[in-house]
Amino acid sequence: MTFNDIFKSSFLENVSSISVLDMLLTIVLSFCIGIFIFLVYKKTYRGVMYSSGFGTTLIALTMITAIIILAVSSNVVLSLGMVGALSIVRFRAAIKDPLDICFLFWSIGAGIILAAGMIPLAVLGSVCIGLVLLIFVNHTSPTRPYMVVLNCADHDVEEKAMNFIAQNVVRNVLKSKSAVKGAIELNIEVRLRNDNTDFINVLAEIPGVSSAIIVSYNGDYMG
Domains in the chain and their CATH numbers?
3-137 (no CATH), 145-216 (3.30.70.260)
The closest alpha carbon to 142, from 198, 213, 215, 221, belongs to 221
pTM of the model: 0.62
Check if the beta carbon of residue 209 is closer than 8 Å to that of residue 170: no
Maximum Cα interatomic distance, the chain, rounded to a whole number of Å: 98
Provide mean pLDDT across the span 142-169.
85
Check: CB of residue 187 under 8 Å from CB of residue 161. no
Q: Average per-residue pLDDT in the chain?
A: 79
Q: Residue 171, by phi and psi: left (phi above 0), alpha (psi -120 to 50) or beta?
A: beta
CA dihedral 195, 202, 211, 146 (to 10 degrees): -10
Instruction: List the beta bridge partners of residue 180.
Output: 183
Residue 131 has pLDDT above 90, yes or no: yes
Query: Pick the residue with more confidence: 89 or 119?
Result: 119
pLDDT computed for residue 47 by the predictor: 65
Distance, CA of 163 to CA of 177 (rounded, Å): 16
| pLDDT more than 70, % of the chain | 74
**pLDDT confidence of residue 126:** 93
Round the CA-based radius of gyration of the chain to a whole number and report it: 28
State phi, psi for 3 to the nearest 5 degrees.
-65, -35
Count the alpha carbons within 13 Å of 139 in the hemisphere toward its beta carbon.
7
Identify the pLDDT of residue 216.
77
Distances (CA, A) of 73 to 13, 79, 193, 200: 14, 7, 59, 64
Among 40-49, 52-61, 122-131, 148-157, top mean pLDDT goes to 122-131
| Of 182 and 59, more confident | 59
DSSP letter assigned to residue 11: I
According to DSSP, the residues that pair with 191 across neighbouring strands are 145, 171
Residues 145 and 91: their CA atoms lie apart, in Å, by 35
